[in-house]
Amino acid sequence: MILGKKNQEKKYVDKGKRLDGRKTDELRQIDIEVGVIDQADGSAFVQWGKNKVYAAVYGPKECLPRHTQNPLKAVLRYKYNMAPFSVSDRIRPGYSRRSVEISKVSRLALEKTLVLEDFPKTAIDVFVEIIQADAGSRAAGITAASVALADAGIPMTGLVSACAVGKAGGHIILDMTKEEEDAPDAIDLPVAYVPETGEFTLVQMDGELQRKDWDELIELAVKGCEMVGEKQRLALKKKYEGEVNE
Amino acid sequence: MSKTNLYWVIKKDSLLADLSHGKRSDKRKFDEYRKITVEKGVSDTAEGSAMVQMGKTKVIAGVKISVGTPYPDSPDKGTMMVNAELLPLSSPDFEPGFPSEDAVELSRVVDRGIRESHAIDLEKLCIREGELVYSVFVDIDIINYDGNLFDACELAGIAALEDTKLPKVKDEKIVEGEFTGKLPINHQPIECTFAKIGEHILLDPDLEEDNCKEAAFTIAITEKDVICAMQKRGSKPFTKDELTSMIDTAIKESKKLRSNL
């Protein structure tokens, strides 16, 4: 390693292969397990590369305090939390601006797919706990949460699948690792997408994006989310296949 | 008086009816901003400041500079932070207390536009590598809320930064009232926000439109047409074509907005 120059010298894509050996349009290994938290009404555990994420759904249940109730539909609540030991520097537990924002955009990414009108005056709680993070934890969280909501039997119009696309070292890539996200020229564009309807429910971006790269990035994001959606459906089928005919 | 949810449900119907005839309540085009004024240097106590009025929305940004230690991962760079306060004085809907989710999102998206565009030349704010750097705090007070805070706050933030003088440092402390020059600014990020109501997409939503919107999309763009931040808000989804067309409009309209600086 050359001191001080490692970022400039690092080749993010070499002969079509990335630092971890993936192709530019390849997701990390994703494993989804449904029904992993016994106490919850629905739950999922997602291992996404080095990300480890639990999602649990409680509800529909009584919505307290009462003034937060909606007489017409259920209130969806979403809490994204990082374990203090989930990254190399310890995270102070509790309130952070980052987790408040991620909780908000994640909740809104899921809300329109749920038939909340079926459960007036109730609350549906989604808790997402990041046990280990390596870039893309909000996408893994939303992916896990959507599966957990399905597992909880909340009626929905479609599963929400999420992933990030971006750029590192001048290359457009799917599903960055932390190392790629730390590239000096990195772009991070996380999206949530409903494959059933072809609509985006979350779009964020930071970095320096040229207009000419947009079309390719968003196409790649659709492709990535469709692959994630396939994994979500398989995971749910695996748990429920035997029970479908009941 | 604070309007109830029911008020906005009813309002949305009449708004939608007008929009389907191509009409906004103040006769603006769908891709047109309200009247914008930018006034720099509105505070004597801040190192830099600016007041922005966008229609009746009014925000004041003030920049304070102190010295501190750099972050371990960027020992040769100064630090910056943006914070926006939804003051209860600016709207019947804002409550005193802990920052709400909306206030946090506003702060972070405005911060992102300035940070990711590298608007402030943070490398020039290093005094002694690994030990002492300038810290830039951009605080934005909302004075009157009449919709579209994101664009007004970003504009006020960058205007205040351009107005900022860099204080002298002696014995690791700021020397009050003495300056070494201007704060080094490299770029002028501008945010453009669209609201989606029904199937209509409106640039620069006013209070009514902001309260009736089902989704919003904010795009930050520099003077070189580089997109440096995006954020979708609200629960209604967007299609790919809608996103692309908003990006193209924003690239065009941000230039007009920037001419106010």
* Domain membership flag for residue A117: yes
pLDDT number for residue A9: 67
**Interchain CB contact of A208 with B (< 8 Å):** yes
Q: List, for residues A56-79, the tens digit of each pLDDT value.
A: 999 999 999 999 999 999 999 999
Asked if residue A118 belongs to a domain, the reply is yes
CA distance A219 to A200: 12
Domain membership of residue A196 (yes or no) is: yes
Q: Identify whether A124 is part of a domain.
A: yes
Q: Which residues of B touch A108 (CB under 8 A)?
A: 233-235
Joined tokens for residue B189: 């990020």
Out of A101, A108, A210, name the one closest to residue B104 (CB).
A101
Return the pLDDT at A88.
Answer: 82
Locate B67 and state its tokens.
């010295």
Helical residues (DSSP H) of chain B, grouped into ranges: 5-20, 101-116, 149-162, 207-212, 240-258
Q: How many domains does chain A have?
A: 1
CATH assignment of the domain containing B54: 3.30.230.70
Q: Which two tokens stand for residue B75?
A: 């020992």
The number of distinct structural domains making up chain B is 1
Inform me whether the pLDDT recorded for A245 exceeds 90: no
Domain CATH for A59: 3.30.230.70
Task: With beta carbons under 8 A apart, name residues in chain B contacting A88.
Answer: none
User: Which residues contact residue A246 at a Cβ distance below 8 angstroms, ignoring those fewer than 6 apart?
Assistant: none
Q: Is residue A8 part of a domain?
A: no
pLDDT tens-digit series, residues B170-183: 999 999 889 999 99
Q: Do B240 and A200 touch (CB under 8 A)?
A: yes
Residue B26 pLDDT greater than 90, yes or no: yes
Is position A7 within any domain? no
pLDDT value at A244 more than 70? no
In a 10 Å sphere around its CB, with 0-12 CB exposed, 13-18 middle and 19+ buried, how is residue B168 labelled? Answer: middle
Q: What count of CB pairs under 8 Å joins A to B? A: 91
Question: B39: buried, middle or exposed (CB in 10 Å: 19+, 13-18, 0-12)?
Answer: middle
Nearest to B232 among A111, A198, A203 (CB): A203
Residue pair A188/A221 in contact (Cβ under 8 Å)? The answer is: no
Range of the domain at B181: 5-258
Question: Given this model, what pLDDT does residue A246 score?
Answer: 47
Residue linked to tokens 């996404």? A48
Q: Which domain holds residue A184?
A: 21-237
Residues across chain B = 261
Residue A238 CA: distances (Å) to CA of A194, A210, A241, A242, B172: 21, 42, 6, 8, 63
- In this structure, are strands B215-221 and B190-197 parallel, antiparallel, or unpaired? antiparallel
Q: Would residue A69 count as lying in a domain?
A: yes
Question: In this predicted model, what pLDDT tens digit does every residue of B105-125 receive, in sequence order?
Answer: 999 999 999 999 999 999 999
Q: How far is CA B245 from the centre of its chain?
A: 21
Per residue in B70-85, pLDDT (tens digit) is 999 999 999 999 999 8
Please tell me what DSSP assigns to residue A129: E
Is residue B1 over pLDDT 80? Answer: no
Mean pLDDT over each residue of chain B, to the nearest integer: 94
Check whether A3 has a pLDDT greater than 70.
Answer: no
Disruptive mutation site among B81, B100, B129, B240 for chain A (greatest number of A CBs within 10 Å)? B240
